[in-house]
Structure 1
Amino acid sequence: MDSLNVGIIGCGNISGIYLQNIPAYHGLSLRACADMRPEVAQAQASRHGIEARSVDQLLASDDIDLVVNLTIPSAHFAVSLAALSAGKHVFSEKPLAVDFEQGRRLVDEAEARSLLLGCAPDTFLGAGGRLARKFIDDGTVGHILSGTAFLMSHGMEHWHPDPEFFFKAGGGPILDMAPYYLSTIVNLVGPVKRVVSISSIGFPERIIAAESSSRKGERITVETPTTVMALLEFTSGAQITFCMSWDVWRHGHPAIELYGTDGSLRVPDPNFFGGHVELTERGGDWRAVDSSEMPLGSPNWRSPNWAPDVPSKANYRALGLADLASAALNGTPHRSSGRLGLHVLEVMHSILEAAATGQPKAITTTVDRPAVLADADAAAFWKRRPPAATAA
């Protein structure tokens, strides 16, 4: 066997980029998709030349080796457990599960069945993440002592066609967006040891404003924190201020900035795969190093919701699937793993619990930093040059 046959469950907003990218990777053969809404699955299947099946049919299919779980967060656990129980490898969109103990059960189930469980985000394996990791590992900025991480916007209701779940239990900027930041920082600095935090709901109600939404004008009652300020202590000794908010109209903070004994490092937006890494050594001028010429770093995608002056981004989602397939087929390291996803899930829940109780929370899980993905190996995953920037 030189590839894993892939079936997607969940054909919503995020599925387009996976369906576009999976055929571009070695080790993956896209076969089918499913959704609880058959007409949605059929539309995506017709668009991408694959078969639409029911969820039960896909799980029972002998020709599916790897299930990609793109359902809403509250369904992640049930769908992933069903796929593992059916003997399939699984790659789940983030978070691994809404509940930490459910996430632990998924990891245990996969290991008991000798199956691979992967979890988004895989963005840290892109060119920007690899370049930042190289500067860390080379000691360019020395030992990381502290840092900051900021995700600040005004949420999803102005562009997402069905944004309600973002503002309910299992949503919020921590469970939705923090996985990108935490996975990237753990890849660079190592595991988290302890957290303290506070939180708030800035706007108790949201109004759906997306022109494409059949629910435009409907009001959403917010039931989960939309601003969270945390301090993360890492096993390495680093301390990082961690701020996630959907209550901000505009800001000027870099996504991730790390401060070492010999310099400082700015990491590109961890929601994408490329970008510039900026660094300063011992107080010198900032210099930017572009990752776009590296494998899986060139801009290839743009959102249909962006203004014309917003530049295209590197979006190579499904890289984590290719990494999982290589691990299954060739015994190479599995990097965006369930164990990493579980550690990130515990950190997120601990941030929310610490905010609710006012007490620090110790992290019980740990994880090694993922193995480095060499540029040559990243290039070998990709079958063809990326297409011109497209919306998906």
Structure 2
Amino acid sequence: MNKVGIGIIGCGNISSAYLKAMASFDILDIRGLADLNAELARQRASEFNLQARTVEDLLADPAIEIIVNLTVPKAHVAVAMQALDAGKHTYSEKPLGINFAEGKRLAEAAEAKGLRIGAAPDTFLGGSHQTARAIVDSGALGRPVGGTATFMCPGHERWHPNPDFYYEIGGGPMLDMGPYYITDLVNLLGPVAKVAGFAFSPRSERLITSQPRNGERIPVHVATHVAGAMAFECGAIVQIGMSFDVAGHKHVPLELYGTEGTLIVPDPNHFGGQVELLKKGGSFEPQETTQPYADGNYRSIGVADMAYAIRSNRPHRANGTLALHVLEVMEAFQKAAESGTTVTIETRAERPAPLSGSLSETRLAA
């Protein structure tokens, strides 16, 4: 199968994980890296033995079919629109956009041009999450009833060298971490129908304790503690809590409840982890992960799946419809908090096709 040319725009913190993982997929041919900070692009290119180029050069290259957009959230849609205008498919880091309106505009532009869009997260394609999907599909839980989704931490200013964007519009725990949890839940349960929620920010500024900006204070422009519930079309009701204001907690990342059992799903920010199943009347038992992509950080498998889908003329899994649905759901929590009402979700996303085999023969070491 012919390789698919890849151009990467954005060479920040997350790009190294993408570049390392892309080496495990033979179908991906990285043709160059670009960043508004040309020196940063040169450094990253040197690190991975690739070519640093300008954005304009990447967009004009006919050998590049997919632009992988690793810019900050507020630039996601603008860069993706540039890619579409250049006739390229585009795959963005999460979230698809900083609000539903701009995400919808991007999706409509892609449809009009006959081009594909995709977006992270792709962690739901990891072996542990696909194992959980297979358990749900087997009927072992009975009818889905509910669940919990929990991400809570003291804030990313503890470790990120430039954490400002986490507290700007388009950031916050819901748009930053919510995509992992909600995307995995759609993978497991199907689309969300309604959202109820509350949101607030207990601090107007944050103190950076990471290097090199230790001691600097940054303003907060978004809610940093969000809680609520999602009613899924299947009937299940899942409680969710996303926070940058919690010192510590004992909740597991994801639990699913059914009439016949309970499923513990590992951290959806990772590809592996222990899946546990409790059948009614029994106790929690570890489940063997038989699906591939559970043994490392495959943060680019969504790009590889898109590339294979282009060559095979089939739908890709981390697709724009899924990402737009998740974006609408995330935005609905703020709307529900402001209005004091339940918000009906207008978009619909099919559960992505399960992944039970390898996209390529290569493995990425843990």
Fold equivalence (TM over 0.5)? yes
Is contact 1:153-1:250 (8 Å) kept? yes
> How far is the alpha carbon of 1:257 from its aligned partner?
0.4
Is contact 2:26-2:362 (8 Å) kept? no
Counterpart residue type for residue 210 of structure 1: S
> How far is the alpha carbon of 1:65 from its aligned partner?
1.0
Aligned to 1:221: 219
Most deviating of 40-49 and 109-118: 109-118
> How far is the alpha carbon of 1:92 from its aligned partner?
0.5
Distance in 2 (CA, whole Å) between partners of 1:18 and 1:290 is: 27
User: Residue 356 of structure 1: SS of its match in structure 2?
Assistant: helix
Aligned to 1:310: none
The C-alpha deviation readout for 1:304-335, integer Å capped at 9, x for no partner, is: xxxxxxxxxx3111100111011100123311
Distance in 2 (CA, whole Å) between partners of 1:331 and 1:65 is: 14
Distance in 1 (CA, whole Å) between partners of 2:281 and 2:323 is: 35
Q: TM-score, normalised by structure 2?
A: 0.97
Aligned to 2:298: 316
Distance in 1 (CA, whole Å) between partners of 2:40 and 2:281 is: 54
Distance in 1 (CA, whole Å) between partners of 2:260 and 2:26 is: 39
Is the aligned partner of 1:341 residue 2:323?
A: yes
Distance in 2 (CA, whole Å) between partners of 1:244 and 1:262 is: 28
**Residue 272 (structure 2) aligned to one of 271, 274, 281:** 274
Summarize the alignment of residues 343-382 of structure 1 with structure 2, pairs less than 5 Å apart: 343-374=325-356, 376=357, 379=358, 381-382=359-360
Corresponding pairs, count: 366
The C-alpha deviation readout for 1:182-212, integer Å capped at 9, x for no partner, is: 000001001011111111113332111113x
> How far is the alpha carbon of 1:359 from its aligned partner?
1.6
Distance in 2 (CA, whole Å) between partners of 1:226 and 1:382 is: 39
> How far is the alpha carbon of 1:128 from its aligned partner?
0.9
Aligned to 1:265: 263
Is contact 1:23-1:29 (8 Å) kept? no
> How far is the alpha carbon of 1:241 from its aligned partner?
0.4
Counterpart residue type for residue 310 of structure 2: A
Is contact 1:275-1:290 (8 Å) kept? no
Q: TM-score, normalised by structure 1?
A: 0.91
Is contact 1:148-1:258 (8 Å) kept? yes
Distance in 2 (CA, whole Å) between partners of 1:383 and 1:146 is: 37
Is contact 1:23-1:30 (8 Å) kept? no
Aligned to 2:114: 114
> How far is the alpha carbon of 1:66 from its aligned partner?
0.6
Distance in 2 (CA, whole Å) between partners of 1:48 and 1:350 is: 40
User: Residue 51 of structure 1: SS of its match in structure 2?
Assistant: coil
Distance in 1 (CA, whole Å) between partners of 2:214 and 2:88 is: 39
Aligned to 1:239: 237
Distance in 2 (CA, whole Å) between partners of 1:266 and 1:333 is: 29
Aligned to 2:294: 297
Aligned to 2:307: 325
Is the aligned partner of 1:4 residue 2:32?
A: no
Spell out structure 1 runs of 4+ moving beyond 6 A: none
> How far is the alpha carbon of 1:24 from its aligned partner?
1.4
Counterpart residue type for residue 171 of structure 2: G
RMSD value over aligned CA atoms? 1.2
Is the aligned partner of 1:80 residue 2:77?
A: no
Distance in 1 (CA, whole Å) between partners of 2:104 and 2:91 is: 15
Distance in 2 (CA, whole Å) between partners of 1:191 and 1:253 is: 24
Distance in 2 (CA, whole Å) between partners of 1:106 and 1:260 is: 37
Aligned to 1:157: 157
Distance in 1 (CA, whole Å) between partners of 2:307 and 2:225 is: 37
